[in-house]
Amino acid sequence: MSKFKESTLKTKLVTRVNRRIILAGVLKAGAVALLGWNIRKLQIEDSEDYKLLADANRVNLRLIPPSRGLIFDRFGAPIALNEQNYKVVFIREQAADPATVLKKLARIIDLEQKRQDKILRDMKKRSPFIPITVAENLTWNDFARISVNLPNLPGIIPEVGLTRHYKEFESYAHIVGYVGPISDKDLASEKPVDPVLQIPKFQIGKVGVEKKLEKSLRGTAGVSRVEVNATGRVMRELNRTQGKSGENIHLTLESNLQKFASERLKGMSASSVLIDIASGDILSLVSTPSYNPNNFVLGISQSNWNALLNDERKPLLNKATSGAYPPGSTFKMIVAAAALELGLIGLNDKVFCPGFYELGSRKFHCWLKGGHGKLTLQEAIQKSCDVYFYELARKVGIKKIGDMARILGLGQSYNLPLTGLSKGFVPTKKWKKERFGTSWLVGDTLNVGIGQGFSLATPLQLAVMTARLASGKNVTPNLIRSPNKDLEEPKDLSIRKSTLVSIRKGMFDVLNDKDGTAYKSRSTNKKFSIAGKTGTSQVRRITKEEREEGVIKNEDLPWKMRDHALFTCFAPYKNPKYALSVVVEHGGSGSKVAAPIARDIILFQLYGGIPPATAYPEKQQIEVGNKLSDIARKINLRTNVSSDI
């Protein structure tokens, strides 16, 4: 190869190598520049974003449970409160031997071995820095003893929180209800789910007002920002935002009246409802026997729960609003109103009662075996003649009877913040055909005409019925007091005044005429005269053979086979203010059992306290006076009320 060619080749090789070096240098410079740009972007432009991400790794948000709203009666007396809950928690990592610490704690407070074992098991399931609740609702003395002995109890931390407490638990249990730990079912029913419900051991309303007004009472949670380390242990609190307490609720009920009615019904399976006729406010709503809702707050024992469930008198049931009973003779006023409105009977028209009513080959019996003779409408109400109302019901027919029952408040549920409200039942021909596949019979109408058969009513509905008859207004019951809200005047019922006056007169005679079924339960204070209607509803069929041999007395029957005793009334007669119903399950006679109770309750309201003995017939004054004095002592009320009020 010539020297020229060799030189040219070397020049080309050098040029090619130089180009590669330059290209590599450019690529490296570009990479360095790109890396520098990204570093600049991370440190300057995106620094805030990454700072937030870093904060999210070290800062946790924790919810602070809100203070639950309180519940008061109409005068501001407390019913449901939040009380200090003295409790102790245990942090495992702070104790070398948790089992030994628990044994030492058991020498100070009652802490069974079974409970200690459960605490130790729970600790193993959680991180060592997570607190475990050891005991709650401690007395101040127990709490103080634990605090004094803390140096010997490593890991034990005393805390003070809030827990629900029901002050007047026995008389208000069925209305207010109770709170309890949230369940999976509760979470599933709430959409969207409130974050506060995720708080461990958070409690919500389970029944009654607590449940129906849960969202108002609950409030909104606060937020605490805490700094945590990589394992999640809290290092310090950065700041907190307080939540909003739940709304306070004022009920329309009067605590003294509520306690008196509860005590008057004590020992019975019974209920009573007293309504202010002008406003519709429910002043008293009682169901007995009752229970202690405080036992449910932290979890009721299985034995106590079984005892409540198996009690034949059903203490968990609110009989005043959920119990549906045959209304008995209290229903006769509905039949009378329907007949008068249709013009099917005049006030002076009489019906003869021989003691039974014949329909074909069947006899429908009157409660008075020998019969009442000839009666007008007012006399039939006064003496509660069954035969009179058999005849009236046959003339009116089931459709018109049902229409009047609904006008007077039966067969419907009211918008009250209570759980388990019953509509009762007003039967129809169509219902019987669909339910049993048989046609409606005239005999069915006759049974309904005296409040037996298929018809059912709650004590609340009977009180509403009485309030509407007494006022002629479409009275609607109310349980929540809103002082700043203007209440609308109830509309007039579509019933003539003359019809209402006639029925009221019959109800007046029930108590104030010597032949009235509740004459012994009258008030002797003319200013506070009571008008009412007795009712006795059968729960068993009386056979022909038993009637011939003599009907077995209620007191000789097993409790569950005895008749229900009912009474409904209003007072004062000339200026009606209050309407009341009383139902005593398997109590027997409405006139002997329910009427005296109702008189005591409504007189208590009229007098504004324990009524004086002079409000009662002279022969009853000593017995009644002793009974009322005993009740007054139990509920801490005075008895020296003037008879001139």
Asked if the model's pLDDT at residue 90 lies above 80, the reply is yes
Residue 285 lies in a domain: yes
Same domain? 235 vs 276: no
Residue 641 lies in a domain: no
Q: Is the peptide bond before 572 cis (omega within 30 degrees of 0)?
A: yes
Asked if the model's pLDDT at residue 231 lies above 60, the reply is no
State mean pLDDT over 264-277: 96
What pLDDT shows up at residue 610?
Answer: 94
* Coil/strand/helix, residue 198: helix
Same domain? 285 vs 418: yes
Among residues 206, 162, 461, the alpha carbon closest in space to that of 316 is found at 206
Residue 557 lies in a domain: yes
What pLDDT shows up at residue 549?
Answer: 66
The proportion of the chain whose per-residue pLDDT surpasses 70, expressed as a percent, equals 86
Asked if the model's pLDDT at residue 643 lies above 50, the reply is no
Number of Cβ within 10 Å of residue 629's Cβ equals 13
Identify the band that residue 580 occupies on the pLDDT scale cut at 50, 70 and 90.
Answer: very high
Euclidean distance between CA atoms 413 and 423, whole angstroms: 5
| Listed residues 250, 275, 308: the one ending a domain | 250
What pLDDT shows up at residue 272?
Answer: 98
Cα 525–530–533 angle (5° rounding)? 150
Q: Say how many domains are in the chain.
A: 2
| Listed residues 216, 250, 284: the one ending a domain | 250
Same domain? 155 vs 279: no
Residue 344 lies in a domain: yes
State the pTM of this model: 0.83
Q: Average model confidence (pLDDT) for the chain? A: 87
Q: What is the CATH number of the domain that holds 360?
A: 3.40.710.10
Number of Cβ within 10 Å of residue 234's Cβ equals 13
- Tell me: the pLDDT tens digits for 488-543? 788 999 999 999 999 999 999 999 999 999 999 999 999 999 999 999 988 777 76
The proportion of the chain whose per-residue pLDDT surpasses 90, expressed as a percent, equals 58
State mean pLDDT over 96-116: 89
Residue 33 lies in a domain: no
Q: What is the CATH number of the domain that holds 222?
A: 3.90.1310.10
Same domain? 286 vs 216: no
Identify the band that residue 566 occupies on the pLDDT scale cut at 50, 70 and 90.
Answer: very high
Euclidean distance between CA atoms 413 and 600, whole angstroms: 28
Q: How far is CA 393 from CA 351, 450, 484, in A?
A: 13, 8, 46
- Tell me: the pLDDT tens digits for 411-458? 998 999 999 999 999 999 999 999 999 999 999 999 999 999 999 999
What pLDDT shows up at residue 11?
Answer: 61
Same domain? 187 vs 259: no
State phi, psi for 159 to the nearest 5 degrees.
Answer: -135, 155
State phi, psi for 119 to the nearest 5 degrees.
Answer: -60, -45
Same domain? 203 vs 341: no
Cβ partners under 8 Å of residue 72, min gap 6: 78, 79, 248, 249, 250, 251
Residue 47 lies in a domain: no
Residue 298 lies in a domain: no
Asked if the model's pLDDT at residue 221 lies above 70, the reply is yes
Element housing 388 (H / E)? helix 386-396
* Coil/strand/helix, residue 291: coil
Asked if the model's pLDDT at residue 644 lies above 50, the reply is no
Q: Is the peptide bond before 617 cis (omega within 30 degrees of 0)?
A: no
The range of the structural domain enclosing residue 88 comes to 62-250
Same domain? 498 vs 589: yes
Residue 45 lies in a domain: no
Same domain? 450 vs 564: yes
Asked if the model's pLDDT at residue 225 lies above 80, the reply is no
Same domain? 216 vs 264: no
CB 366 within 8 A of CB 356: yes
Same domain? 508 vs 616: yes
Of residues 46 and 193, more confidently modeled: 193
Least confident span in 48-57, 117-126, 171-180, 189-198: 48-57
Euclidean distance between CA atoms 184 and 197, whole angstroms: 11
Active site residues: 329
Same domain? 469 vs 601: yes
What pLDDT shows up at residue 308?
Answer: 92
Cβ partners under 8 Å of residue 81, min gap 6: 70, 164, 165, 166, 167
- Tell me: the pLDDT tens digits for 162-196? 889 998 888 999 999 999 888 878 888 877 878 77
Same domain? 599 vs 543: yes
SS (H, E, C) 579-604: EEEEEECCCCCHHHHHHHHHHHHHHH
State mean pLDDT over 460-469: 98
Identify the band that residue 208 occupies on the pLDDT scale cut at 50, 70 and 90.
Answer: very high
